[in-house]
Amino acid sequence: MTAVLEGLGVAVPQRVVTNLDLERVLDTSDEWIRTRTGIGERRVADPGVATADLAVEAGARALKSAGGGPVDMVVVATTSPDRVVPATAPEVASRIGLEPVAAFDLNAVCSGFVYALAVAAGMLDGHATQRVLVIGAETLSRITDPADRSTAVLFGDGGGAAVLRRGEPGESGAFGPFDLGSDGSMADSLAMPAGGSRRPASTSTLTGREHYMRLDGKAVYRHAIARMVASSRAALDAARLSAGDIDRFVGHQANLRILDAVADRLGIAPQRRVVNVDRYGNTSAASIPLALADAQLAPGQRVLLTAFGGGFTWGATTLTWPRLATV
Amino acid sequence: MSAVYDRVKELLVEKFGVSADEVSPETTFEELDLDSLDLVEFAMAAEEELGVRISDEEAETIATVGDAAKLLEEKGANVGGA
């Protein structure tokens, strides 16, 4: 028994913020942003649009691509939920018309989508679950300090979703084994310091701009490369595959130089790596489905997925691309 | 120059596309068009190739190729036979 990909859908805000737009309001430049990150522009949700709105749109499209029908569970991977309490997923499930399905959020930051796929695959391995809707959606613009040039250039908003069903390992769309991991000693390297139980919201957290993400770029850069390489190797080994078997490499879209460094260390040719970080920036849990939807994958192609994010968390898996209806 | 310096130069040429005749002990990473992320990758490459762990803080103290070689020597870089 294994999880099989049956549908894929995405949703991105219309509004585009280019590097030139950021040059006008921050001490940064298009050249600096492009050489350090590979990012040229990102999408930003209009005021009033929240993560659930992108999740609903992406989730409904994924279900349509999968031919509609019921699901037994909705998992929303996000690090920018609509509220701290309750989770975003129940609202998303209701608005898609899936009530009273099981629904919960999963926070593994930028590794969230890979983690959520693994959780779905685990549930499908039991008997009670036939089909799961996995959504990764973020409005990172809401937790990014517009005055912080080290983070404001990096992040974007978006959503992506996949429908997974029970199936057999040999099927088109079948996922291979997952590798997941974490290192909580690095928690402060990518964090929103306040708003949780450690530092509840107060006047001082507000004036200290502690409700925005803070990033130690060098630590993240170094660990991201090392962890995604090791996790990819573990997922490949578990699937009895080598890097040479991989037709397309879909890494978390945070930084083009990280993607290049990971692909290079794995021995995957540059033309096999999927890149859309130039157009969307880092959309955290939404980046993997957005990249999958953008990649124009052909049925039968062997795909390697890997992600790394705050926590630190990381994960990897493989799948054989199925024939999907585009919506 | 030391064996460690020669190995550092090799790493820069092999992994960072630097041409060998650009490199001297006094050459800065900046002059080689290498930025702070390249320096992080250089530290990772040094760890992988020479078995020496350079922290991000230590990497920040590196300005020139000679600085990098000196730091690696102090930390006991093993270049085989040296």
Option in A36, A217, A222 nearest B44 (CB): A222
Residues 6 or more apart from A45 whose CB is under 8 A from it? A13, A15, A53, A54, A139, A141, A142, A157
Long-range contacts of A266-272 (CB under 8 A, 24+ apart): A266/A229, A266/A232, A266/A233, A266/A304, A267/A243, A268/A243, A268/A304, A272/A246, A272/A247, A272/A248
CATH number, residue B48: 1.10.1200.10
Q: Would B79 be classed as within a structural domain?
A: no
Strands A73-77 and A131-139: parallel
CATH number, residue A32: 3.40.47.10
Average pLDDT of span B73-82: 73
pLDDT tens track for A80-131: 999 999 999 999 999 999 999 999 999 999 999 999 999 999 999 988 899 9
Answer whether residue A263 shows pLDDT above 70: yes
Q: Would B82 be classed as within a structural domain?
A: no
Do A11 and A140 belong to one domain? Answer: yes
Distance CA(A327)–CA(A61), nearest Å, equals 6
Answer whether residue B82 shows pLDDT above 50: no
* Least Cα separation, residue A223 to chain B (angstroms): 10
pLDDT tens track for A222-258: 999 999 999 999 999 999 999 999 999 999 999 999 9
Q: The pTM is what?
A: 0.95
From chain B, pick out residues whose CB is under 8 angstroms from the CB of A219: 56
Q: Are A292 and A306 in contact (CB under 8 A)?
A: no
Q: How many A×B Cβ pairs under 8 Å?
A: 22
Give me the domain span that covers residue A79: 2-167
Do A17 and A104 belong to one domain? Answer: yes
User: From the candidates B30, B39, B44, B58, which should be mutated to test the interface with A, based on the most A CB atoms within 10 A?
Assistant: B44
Give me the domain span that covers residue B53: 3-74
pLDDT at A327: 64
Do A231 and A289 belong to one domain? Answer: yes
From chain B, pick out residues whose CB is under 8 angstroms from the CB of A35: 35
Catalytic residue flag (residue A252): yes
Model confidence band, residue B80 (pLDDT cutoffs 50, 70, 90): low
Q: Would B38 be classed as within a structural domain?
A: yes
Distance CA(A57)–CA(B46), nearest Å, equals 46
pLDDT tens track for A183-206: 999 999 999 999 999 999 999 999
Domain count, chain B: 1
Q: Are A295 and A250 in contact (CB under 8 A)?
A: yes
Average pLDDT of span B3-12: 92
Q: Percent of chain A having pLDDT more than 90?
A: 97
Answer whether residue A39 shows pLDDT above 70: yes
CB contact under 8 A, A218 and B56: yes
In one-letter notation, the amino acid at residue A162 is A
CB contact under 8 A, A218 and B41: no
Domain stops at, among A142, A167, A192: A167
Answer whether residue A321 shows pLDDT above 80: yes
Domain count, chain A: 2
- Judged on CB neighbours under 10 Å (0-12, 13-18, 19+), B63 is middle
Domain stops at, among A145, A167, A189: A167
Domain stops at, among A167, A188, A209: A167
